[in-house]
Amino acid sequence: MKVSHLTRPLIALLVVAFTGLGTAGAALAAQSPHDGGSQPVYSYANAVRETAWVDTGLKDPQGRAVRVAADIIRPAEPASQGRTVPTIMDASPYYSCCGRGNESQLKTYDSAGKPVQFPLYYDNYFVPRGYAVVLVDLAGTNRSNGCVDVGGPSDITSAKAVVDWLNGRATGYTSATGSTRATASWSNGSVGMIGKSWDGTIANGVAATGVAGLKTIVPISAISSWYDYYRANGASLTAGTPAGLATYVWNSGAQSGCSSVQSATSAGSPSNGNYTSWWAQRNYYANAANVKASVFVAHGVNDLNVKTINFGQWWDALGANGVQRKIWLSQTGHVDPFDYRRTDWVDTLHRWFDHYLMGIDNGVDREPVASVERTPDHWVDDPSWPAAPSATTLKLAATGTNGLGRLGSTAPAPGATESFTDNPGQGERDWTANPDSVLGSRVLFSSGTLTSDLRVSGTGSITVTASSSLNNARLSAVLVDLGPETIRNFEGSGEGITTLDTKSCWGDSAAGDSACFKDAAADTVDVDSYVISRGWADLGHYASLNSQQQLTPGKAYTMTFKLATTDHVVSAGHRLALVIGGTDNGQITGNSRPRVTVDLTRTTVQVPLVGTLPK
């Protein structure tokens, strides 16, 4: 994950303060259906705060057992009554390097090493309602030993081992190196994982193992395939390198002796864009058939950090395997729902955990599957998602102006072509700024003016047949809404939100751990064009992502690749356009300048449409 974005914290939630109760009657009420869900009847101030170091079963390169630190906060009353509780768990590499939430909260400890501050609102809100909250340091980060391997076996096993421990299947200890056992006798074995970005990615990966006891996951802006975080169909995205990301989050002490893991990381993620076994090991959607947990996805359709193809392919794979699903799609970039729809988010999340972890029949599983932000702060619900049952194939036809064509059902003339010269210094902003003007670095095809709204909902693709003047070529395909509208300013510093000076409190506070977090509001901008989906490729991977080929100049090659998953309504009076260009500056890397010729007779774009384009 790109450091500049992923270090942005998971946004905290708005919660109302309650007073915890400690009577036996109140304890029973916390896990009983009452007023729609679990109630804040347990004392947060008197909650048990402790750490277990869980044996992952892994060895570091020196042969030492890898233990991960699981910081726990749980209500004291149930255990004293012989009762057990479910767990909400967030496994992260960020608890000491970067922080979580809008205030970059870190874990803190007292002089004896006992946890004091649990970042985010989960503990403040859910512990009084009868949940344990467990925050896990991935191997090689914060207080865990071992090596960071960026989404691989070390990462996933770090979290899976804690789920196993909560179910009595793994061994825990009261210290990092000691032999005194720690047991989770207070746990009922039901676990829900949650987290934004890398944290949510770990939730995806653990769910893909099929581990027993994991009842639900809530991945927020999460990766489903690390290849699709760093690469796009053979092209390198501007996200840095996996090895570089590892150095950003690791505990330098724990990482001593991990050079072999770093070497394997670098070797397994070559800059030529090849899909290797290293990437395959970090492809979670390929193992969606193993998922037993329900999945509540939240993602911004304008997330240029964790690209939306990550939730799209995960969602489709889960659906193909009958997984219970729910999805929220905002207009933001890489932002947590707490910052764009706070009250509704905490209410929905509360009912989701109550249902899947406490067994409360509150109807959340029968509500609309999807909630989509249509315009800033205006949401619509859908009974299923995506809205388009299949993609519509659109054709590209030339007009009398070279570089400007027609998008729709009209077939191109026999032998029709369009050409552009790659300019690595330009990108989608340049390509879409003046859509009716000729620009040598791209070709643009637009529909006629829409007479009714047109919804693009789902994952599209493009099949391009093109030749290059050199032995290489980058390809970019950009789907654009041409017309004025107000959108969230996802390219701004807050990626669509503004953090306010006011605070709201959800849950209970204690010394060193406040339940109060900064509020946020929509940051909007007026635009004349809006990119709604993107896709990139290296034409040298036309035959296979496993191997890059040198192109024969002048020879045509055909390649099909996906466009980013999206949900957007192109309003009546607007036009839908497709841009085909070379290197998309700021999105993919490249430095050559081939002349690329597109064969229009063998190039089509498949768009998931609800509605029709004008003839």
CATH code where residue 161 lies: 3.40.50.1820
Residue 510 domain-assigned? no
User: Residue 509 falls within a domain, yes or no?
Assistant: no
pLDDT at 256: 72
- Please tell me which residue in 155, 303, 513, 523 is annotated as part of the active site: 303
Q: Distance between CA 288 and CA 306 in Å, rounded?
A: 19
Reading the block at residue 536, the tokens are 């990139």
Could you give the 3-state DSSP secondary structure of residue 393? strand
Q: Is the dihedral of CA 243, 245, 250, 253 positive or negative?
A: positive
Give the tens place of pLDDT for each residue, 541-589.
999 999 999 999 999 999 999 999 999 999 999 999 999 999 999 999 9
Query: In the prediction, which pLDDT does 30 show?
Result: 43
Question: In terms of residue numbers, what domain contains 336?
Answer: 3-382
The answer to whether 359 and 578 are in contact (CB under 8 A) is: no
Angle between helices 153-166 and 198-207 (to 10 degrees): 70
Range 12-30 average pLDDT:
33
For residues 148, 151, 156, 162, the Cα torsion angle rounded to the nearest 10 degrees is: 60
Give the Cα separation of 533 and 386 in Å (integer). 15
In a domain, 329, yes or no: yes
Residue 8: pLDDT over 50: no
Mark whether 145 and 127 lie in a shared domain: yes
Query: Does the pLDDT value for residue 187 go beyond 70?
Result: yes
197 is catalytic: yes
Q: Is 467 a catalytic residue?
A: no
448: pLDDT confidence band, cut at 50, 70 and 90?
very high
What pTM value is reported for the model?
0.94
Tell which of 382, 410, 441 closes a domain. Answer: 382
Question: What is the tens place of the pLDDT at every residue in 136-185?
Answer: 999 999 999 999 999 999 999 999 999 999 999 999 999 999 999 999 99
Are 345 and 494 part of one and the same domain? Answer: no
Domain check: are 179 and 286 in the same one?
yes
Question: Are 356 and 397 contained in the same domain?
Answer: no
Q: Are 1 and 305 in contact (CB under 8 A)?
A: yes
CA distances from 301 to 126, 335, 459 (A): 29, 10, 12
Could you say which of 92, 154, 197, 371 is catalytic?
197
In a domain, 554, yes or no: yes
Q: How many domains does the structure of the chain reveal?
A: 2
- C-alpha–C-alpha distance, residues 297 and 344, integer Å: 15
Q: For residue range 248-262, what is the model confidence (pLDDT) as tens digits?
A: 998 876 667 899 999
**Chosen domain end from 359, 382, 405:** 382
CB atoms within 10 A of CB 383: 9
Do 336 and 415 reside in the same domain of the chain?
no
Which of 71, 330, 334, 567 is labelled catalytic?
334
| CA proximity to 334, closest of 212, 490, 181, 198 | 490
Read off the pLDDT of residues 235-290 as tens digits, 9 standing for 90 and up. 999 999 999 999 999 887 666 789 999 999 999 999 999 999 999 999 999 999 99
